[in-house]
Structure 1
Amino acid sequence: MHCWKTINVKKQYGFDRLFMLSSLSGLGVFMIFYVALNIFYSATLSDQYFLLFLLSMIALYPLHKLCHFLPLVGCRRSIRLVFKKQLGLIPLISLRIKEPVPKMHFIFALISPFLLINSSIILLVASMPAYSHYFAMLFAFHCALCLTDLVYIRNLSRSPKYALIEETENGFQILVPQVIS
């Protein structure tokens, strides 16, 4: 195996730029989704469960990380959870993969929170339109969380089909079998 390419989005874009892009994309998603919901649903909005909404906002990040872990359950011996603090107070949870994982398996692990959580939020909006403003904020916040994953998926989609993905200190390495001629 040899390294075809190393991807480190945080190093390539920087934390500040990624945070700004995530914030702007979350704001854009909120505006579009909220306006679309107001067009389709004319229900009176309720603020009855505000505490539950706040708890949902707090629980969304760990739930997002759990959804990354679910497709990799078969590889759980090669996965390590790392807890860090960003800016001294914001907790960050990272999944570190010790052994190479097939590219499609890794892409599925990256996209699974986007698909599972966002589709759940959309189903909740359809069943409880009186709380669509809460769900619009949850949807936008989660889309902002998913931005880095989507950037990684975009970079990985250009890699060879049967590549393996390995995580190192420098980022994700795309490994391809070495052809001996």
Structure 2
Amino acid sequence: MSLENIELYHYKTKQKVSVLARKTGENQFMASCINPDHEDKHPSMSISTDKGLYHCFACQIAGVTWAKHLENKGSKKSGEQYLKEKKEAERKNEIILSLNTDLVNWSGYDETIKEEAKSRIAFDLCFLPEKEKVTSISSVVEAGIFRRVELLDRMKKVEGLLKQSEFTPEEEKILSKQK
């Protein structure tokens, strides 16, 4: 039986591999496995040149021969197709990343706005005259913006902060002298 050099395309490494194989029949060969993880001492890989296939019975690696791969895909066409698919995948990843970033930024922004709106509601309920109030304590509680106890606590804090900022009688005297 004669030995022949056969070129195979290895899908895991994406490389062309040259294998020395023994002819076992018409268009059939046996060779040592091309899988680098399979330490093959005895030929266990069957190669069919007419079908363009190879298969290792020990580690189950399989694929098409390089020549068959080029026939089916065309070297130029498969390269162009690969680049097109790669660009499309990169574009999709960029869109997903952009959407995720926007979502994270919006979530933080949304929470800030909610907190500012809550503070404003408490302030308005405390200090606006009845005619100017847009809402009432009951409507704020019904809307689920605040629990009643939470709203009343916040209103007390707002009142306390404003009382702290009022001037003492001594400070009033000093300010009136400066005018």
For the criterion TM > 0.5, the same-fold answer is no
Q: TM-score, normalised by structure 2?
A: 0.21
More helix by share: 1
TM-score, reference length from structure 1: 0.20
- Structure showing greater Rg: 2
